[in-house]
Structure 1
């Protein structure tokens, strides 16, 4: 059985990085975008990183332009935006695809471990996402595909996926308690 540590990704300069470098850490893998309604989530993730990094948390940021082309620019430009606007200090990697024939193997594995968890019913963007996704595929909710930017996968210190959080999951009230249980 695979773990997070079996994968290699590219950093924002195009260099290979083995995710085995994160052995023993609690890891949150996130697909992100800089021009999305969820982009302010960067600030929440940075706050979580600052609060929990010394206890063993790593947040791995993978920009993805597949959802509404909301991650334009190079990985370097995205990094400049994120550090300048949100003070991001967690690792940011090269752009990836998370669904489809060109999806990165890491995201294939993540989706195999944890399927779609459902959008928060009370989130103001949930009806918009449901409407948008329903137009393309009436069975969208049955598939493990990543539905939008800022889907998060929580991985334990042994490299196993523990939980999946959809973009509507609040970082402070939903993601942070799950992270803290693993730290």
Structure 2
């Protein structure tokens, strides 16, 4: 169940780059926190089509199942660092955001707050940030790739500056608001 009606007005909206974001919070209970490792293998081929090298790397995956107050269950991908953990039965607050500049009627979960430890963690926000910044389309990505190739790699510097700009214009203020909402939710418990 959303408790957005209880979210103070100064925490419920954020205006960034002319776009208004609406924040919502959902209370619930952690059901399960799973961690596993996936191995990704890739290979390169020489000019004759033969395998010339094989690389592999492990990726740590984490997810948490949550039962919201309305009885619905959600699975949330957690950050892969182990500094934030949730145990079954702990009260949590799931922080989400929606906007007319994002997909209609879609709430993006941006942070998870654990009431037992009074810690919060940002969740994967890449898709939401790219949508807000207008860089999520295949055409935008294709143009960016073409730009890098056309400028003999110098365009990579421009892309780095764009990413840095998205971080300071969107990620930092959104995470600041998520932290404020998490702190507020700890006081409400």
State TM-score, norm by structure 2: 0.22
State TM-score, norm by structure 1: 0.23
Q: Identify the structure with bigger relative contact order (alpha carbons < 8 Å, sequence gap 6+).
A: 1
